[in-house]
Amino acid sequence: MKLKLNIVGLMAMGLLASPLVFTSCSEDAMDRVNENVNNPTDVQAKFILTDVITKTAFSNVGGDFNTYLSTYVEHEVGTHNQLWNAEHRANEPTRASTFNNVWGNVYSALRDARLLIEKCSAGGKQEGNYTTLGMGQVMAAYNLALLTDMFGDAPYSEGFKPLKIKNPKLDKQEDLYNQVIAYLDEAIENLPKGDTHGSGGPAGQDLLYGGSGAKWLKFAYGLKARYAMRLLKVTSDKTAALNNVISDVDKSFQNASEQAAFNQYGTTNLNPLFDFQWSRDGLAASKSIADKMISRNDPRLKRNFMTADWVQVNDLTSSSPSYKLLAPNGENEQVQYHYLTSTFVFSQTASTQLLSYHELLFLKAEAMQRLGKGSSSIEPILKAAVTAAIKNSENSVNAAFVAPTVLANGTITETSADITDANIDSYFENSVKPLFASNPLKEIANQKYLAFFGASGESTEMYNNIRLWKALGENWIDLKNPGKFPLRLPYGNDDTTTNPNVQAAYGDGQYVYTENVWWAGGTR
């Protein structure tokens, strides 16, 4: 992993994970012998926050989840080694080793978020830092939802007591989501209160918002909207839930400058999609998504694909020679440097989106449509969503052509002009609007699908969307891979080999093809 984590926060993780090593002596001098001045026994919450944000963005949202799930949702195609196996459903989707690293990373982020919460809560060493407490609660909610969305039932209530409970039980997903919502409700209460402890607020240690509680409050409301939609199938009062989606979106981001984007990548801290592809070259351009863009005459089509020689393809049609170099989903050869790739795999400095402005607009459009609102009121929301999505895509595309590591190793050639507002207007009027009129929910879903294609780590969230839509009986996204679609991810082998409760739930791993998670109609 090339991303440099805050060392003080890493120390905090070690302190949380292990009991005190040294025993004390009766004399002060001997006490100091056992004191490591480079390993503080207490770390301020703001430093822990830095690590939680970093790990959540780089390792959890943008890391292995997004890499593999980009092939499951057909944003990319796995073309080599483990990713080819995943693409062809050969062992990787069911193996406990496949997601073991990110299984541990999510728990590590949760552990740190809980430590931050403890420090800033009543009786904690930084009691009174309410805004920082709220930030920790948002990040705990985010990672707990990520954990259970991917794996279903999972250890949590007993999962952070290693000295007392060696084999923690699995909590039900419904209970885990109750905790997610409780964290967000508590955060919404705490974030406006300010930080009154002498240590002060996080300021620059907050890598998302520079310590702004008001922006974190909008982030919390946005997550409430996301999870209200997530739970739609299992919610008794769907009308109330959809109205909550709309009201929470209205309390959240008002423009793209407020979205929860992790913007800390550069020459050494690498966007995780770029990091994977540059070191492994395991992804190729998806024929499935290209066909969807071709059918819509989508302006992103001329921007989002590259040849193996790093030249942008701007004439991709079903009859062009380059079309034959798109990788057929689930039927591609295991070969490197042959197929086209997405431009995004070169986007070295592109942001990772924990929650984007365009996602919220798509949520609002979907909720309004499900409530039967008129098309005249939904169209402006959908157009704003499409516009924000294309602009986010363009930011990532443009990042590819100035990627320092790429330019240090050759020339990457841009052959098309940036997409303009006029291009977006024409696209919406001529392509999106007629399809919306024909089948509103389907086009909202497909535009969201196209929006989440990129370098921002949003394939992770699209996987959740597709599973929900399928659970509602809505196969809006036409997936072409002939293999079985994984309904969930297998537990990590750190626990399938040590915790009998997780081992029993895992079995032989084949359940990932047959058992939905609870919010998608399953039982666990």
Contacts of 522 (CB under 8 A, 6+ apart): 152, 487, 515, 516
| Confidence grade of residue 499 (pLDDT, cut at 50, 70, 90) | very high
Written as six digits, the tokens of 479 are 């997936």
Q: How many other CB atoms are there within 10 angstroms of residue 121's CB atom? A: 17
Placement of tokens 């949760």 in the chain: 110
Written as six digits, the tokens of 202 are 């996080």
Written as six digits, the tokens of 469 are 């839509």
DSSP annotation of 234: G
Written as six digits, the tokens of 375 are 């098309």
Q: What is the pLDDT of residue 1?
A: 30
Q: What is the pLDDT of residues 53-83, one digit of tens each?
A: 999 999 999 999 999 999 999 999 999 999 9
Q: What is the pLDDT of residues 390-425, one digit of tens each?
A: 999 999 999 999 999 999 999 999 999 999 999 999
Asked if 488 and 103 count as a contact pair (C-beta separation under 8 A), the reply is no
Contacts of 262 (CB under 8 A, 6+ apart): 53, 54, 57, 58, 62, 207, 208, 351, 352, 353, 354
CA nearest to 390, candidates 366, 421, 413: 421
Pairing of strands 283-285, 305-306: unpaired
Residues β-bridged to residue 352: 262
CA–CA separation, 314 and 303 (whole Å): 7
Start-end of H helices in 163-271: 173-190, 213-230, 238-250
Written as six digits, the tokens of 173 are 């997903």
Q: What is the pLDDT of residue 51?
A: 98
Q: SS3 of 198, please? A: coil
Task: Check whether 427 has a pLDDT greater than 90.
Answer: yes
This prediction's pTM: 0.92
Q: What is the pLDDT of residue 160?
A: 86
Placement of tokens 């997530």 in the chain: 230
Q: What is the pLDDT of residues 451-495, one digit of tens each?
A: 999 999 999 999 999 999 999 999 999 999 999 999 999 999 999
Q: What is the pLDDT of residue 112?
A: 97
Task: Check whether 25 has a pLDDT greater than 60.
Answer: no
Q: What is the pLDDT of residues 467-478, one digit of tens each?
A: 999 999 999 999
In terms of pLDDT, which residue wins out, 29 or 44?
44
Q: What are phi and psi of 280, to 5 degrees?
A: -120, -30
Q: What is the pLDDT of residues 295-326, one digit of tens each?
A: 999 999 999 999 999 999 999 999 999 999 99
Contacts of 452 (CB under 8 A, 6+ apart): 75, 359, 458, 459, 461, 462, 465
DSSP annotation of 489: -
